[in-house]
C-alpha cells in the first residue's frame, strides 16, 4: 500500500476504509472483511458509533496493532479543553487501545452567530490545546482537523504550537473545495477525502461514466484514482467485499492531464456545501 508522509514524519496509508454508515449496518463484519482484503487504515469517529467494533475487529484479526493506522474524531458537540481530553480517553476505552494514530476535531464549532454559539474561537482552540497535550504525551501519533474552512484554520493557527497534520474534507471530482484545499496545502497540511465518490452520486454522472469506459475501469475507481492523483488520502466505504477490493485497485490507474482537467472542471456541489460557516463566509464576502 502506498503511504504518505505527514508533516510530523508519521506515515499514513493513502487508502483507508471509511466506516461511516456502512450500508447494511453490520460494521463489525464489514471491518473484518476490509482487514481481510488488505485495508490497514481504518477511519472511525465517536459519532459513527462503531469505535468498539473497530477495536474488536483489529483484535480479532490477530494482526499486530502497530500494523494498523487508526483514526478517530472528537464530536463537534464536545469541543473545549476539558471535554476534548475526556472524550479522547473515552475513545481509547471504546477502541480498547492504548494509543490512536490520528485524532481529528471532527467539525469546527459551527452555528456561531446564533445565541449561545459566540464562543467558537475559544472552543476550537481549547480542544486543539488538549490535542496538543495528548500528542506530546504520546497518546496520539498525529493530530488534525476535519471540515475546517480557511477561517477556522486561521483561528487555530493563531494559537497552535503543533500544525495540524491533516484536514479531512468532503472531496471528489464534483466538489473540490479549492479554497480550503489550497489554504491547507500552504500550511503543509495533508488532505483526506471523505465520500470520494460523492456518496455514490457521481457513479451515474455522464462525464464520469464515459471517461471510466475509456479507461476500462468502473466509475468508482475513476473517482478514487482522480482523488489519489490530486494527492488526497482517500476513505472509500463499502459494505461489499468485492467493491472493497475494487476500490483498492484505484492505485493502479493513471489519468491523463487532459482528463484530470475535465474532472476538475465539473459542476461543483457537495453534501457539506451547506456547511453553516460557508453560508456565513458567502454572506460576509457579499457585504465587503
Ligand atoms: P456499497 O456499500 O453497497 O458498496 P462514498 O464513500 O463516496 O460516501 O460512497 C459510498 C457509497 O458508494 C456506498 O453507498 C457504497 O455502497 C458505494 N460504493 C463503494 N464502492 C463502490 C464501488 N466500487 N462501486 C459502486 N459503488 C460503490
Q: DSSP per residue over 41-110, as a string? A: EEE--GGGT-HHHHHHHHHHHT--GGG-EEEEEE-GGG-SHHHHHHHHHHHHHHHT-S-EEEEEE-S---
The Cα–Cα gap between 35 and 17 comes to 9
Mean pLDDT computed over every residue of the chain:
91
> In the structure, what pLDDT confidence band is assigned to residue 277 with cuts at 50, 70 and 90?
low
Calculate mean pLDDT across residues 128-137.
Answer: 98
- Dihedral sign, Cα of residue 168, residue 170, residue 176, residue 180: negative
* Distance of CA 21 from the midpoint of ligand 1 (Å): 11
141-176 pLDDT tens trace? 999 999 999 989 998 999 999 999 999 999 999 899
The closest-lying atom of ligand 1 relative to the alpha carbon of residue 23 is 2
pTM greater than 0.90 (yes/no)? yes
Cα 172 to the center of its chain, rounded Å: 12
Is pLDDT at 130 greater than 90 in this prediction? yes
Greatest CA span in the chain, whole angstroms? 58
User: Are 44 and 71 contacting, i.e. CB atoms less than 8 angstroms apart?
Assistant: yes
- The average pLDDT across 263-288 equals 67
**Closest CA relative to residue 148, chosen from 108, 94, 99:** 108
204 grid coordinates? 451515474
- Please, which pLDDT band fits residue 269 given cuts at 50, 70 and 90? confident
- Residue 218: per-residue pLDDT: 97
Contact 141, 10 (CB under 8 A): yes
Give whole-number Cα distances, 234 to 98, 168, 209, 221, 252, in Å.
25, 9, 20, 11, 14
Best of 236, 244, 269 for a ligand 1 pocket test (most atoms within 8 Å of beta carbon)? 236
pLDDT at 21: 74
pLDDT of residue 214: 97
**Could you tell me if residue 204 is left (phi over 0), alpha (psi between -120 and 50 degrees) or otherwise beta?**
alpha
136 annotated as ligand-binding: no
Number of the ligand 1 atom closest to the C-alpha atom of 240: 4
pLDDT value at 270 more than 60: yes
Q: Are 3 and 14 in contact (CB under 8 A)?
A: yes
Q: Which residue did the predictor score with more confidence, 201 or 263?
A: 263
pLDDT at position 231 over 80:
yes
77: pLDDT strictly greater than 90:
no
pLDDT for residue 201 is more than 60:
yes
First to last CA, the chain: 47
Domains of the chain plus CATH, in order, are 3-265 (3.20.20.100)
Which of 2-11, 114-123, 177-186 is predicted with the least confidence, judged by mean pLDDT? 114-123
Please confirm, yes or no, whether 215 is among the known catalytic residues.
no
Amino acid at each position: 500500500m502506498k503511504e504518505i508522509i505527514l508533516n510530523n514524519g508519521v506515515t499514513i496509508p493513502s487508502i483507508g476504509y471509511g466506516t461511516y454508515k456502512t450500508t447494511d449496518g453490520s460494521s463489525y463484519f464489514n471491518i473484518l472483511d476490509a482487514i481481510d482484503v488488505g485495508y490497514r487504515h481504518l477511519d472511525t469517529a465517536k459519532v459513527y458509533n462503531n469505535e468498539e467494533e473497530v477495536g474488536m475487529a483489529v483484535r480479532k484479526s490477530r494482526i499486530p496493532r502497530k500494523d494498523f493506522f487508526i483514526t478517530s474524531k472528537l464530536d463537534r458537540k464536545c469541543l473545549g479543553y476539558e471535554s476534548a481530553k475526556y472524550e479522547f480517553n473515552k475513545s481509547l476505552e471504546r477502541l480498547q487501545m492504548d494509543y490512536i494514530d490520528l485524532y481529528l476535531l471532527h467539525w469546527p464549532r459551527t452555528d456561531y452567530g446564533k445565541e449561545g454559539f459566540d464562543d467558537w474561537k475559544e472552543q476550537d482552540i481549547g480542544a486543539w490545546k488538549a490535542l496538543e497535550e495528548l500528542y506530546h504525551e504520546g497518546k496520539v501519533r498525529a493530530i488534525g482537523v476535519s471540515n475546517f474552512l480557511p477561517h477556522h484554520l486561521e483561528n487555530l493557527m493563531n494559537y497552535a504550537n503543533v500544525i495540524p497534520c491533516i484536514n479531512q474534507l468532503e472531496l471528489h471530482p464534483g466538489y473540490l473545495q479549492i479554497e480550503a484545499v489550497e489554504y491547507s496545502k500552504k500550511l503543509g497540511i495533508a488532505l483526506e477525502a471523505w465520500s470520494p465518490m460523492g456518496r455514490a452520486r457521481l457513479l451515474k454522472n455522464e462525464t464520469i461514466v464515459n471517461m471510466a469506459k475509456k479507461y476500462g475501469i468502473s466509475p468508482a475507481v475513476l473517482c478514487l484514482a482522480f482523488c489519489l492523483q490530486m494527492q488526497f488520502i482517500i476513505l472509500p466505504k463499502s459494505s461489499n467485499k468485492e467493491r472493497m477490493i475494487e476500490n483498492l485497485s484505484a492505485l493502479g490507474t493513471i489519468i491523463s492531464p487532459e482528463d484530470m482537467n475535465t474532472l476538475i472542471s465539473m459542476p461543483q456541489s457537495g453534501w457539506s456545501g451547506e456547511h453553516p460557516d460557508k453560508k456565513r463566509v458567502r454572506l460576509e464576502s457579499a457585504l465587503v
